[in-house]
Amino acid sequence: MGSPLILTPQAVSSLIYAAARVTDLPELAAIKTLLASKFGKEYAAEAGSEHLCRKWHVNDNLIRCVVSFDQTSRQTTCFRH
């Protein structure tokens, strides 16, 4: 049996932030809905907000990646090392 999944505040906020911007993944939207019901709609709205996301410690690399994501080519270089 594996270790239990531990969701840190940064992980939860980052999932919500990403779900608000990556709309072609319905599974991510479902996760956002579950997290909003568990942690509150106000929290989810703030974590998904461009202006308040840092208050909830959304991952900085994720913010840069989502901002630089090219909608036309559907490619990003954010995770290349």
Residue ranges of domains in the chain:
9-68
- Determine the pLDDT at residue 70: 47
Tell me what the mean pLDDT of segment 9-16 comes to. 94
Alpha-carbon distance of 38 to 44, in angstroms, equals 10
Specify the pTM. 0.76
For residue 81, what pLDDT band results from cuts at 50, 70 and 90?
Answer: very low
Backbone angles phi, psi at 29, to 5 degrees: -65, -40
Convert the pLDDT of each residue in 22-79 to its tens digit. Answer: 888 899 999 999 999 999 999 999 999 988 998 999 999 888 887 655 454 555 545 4
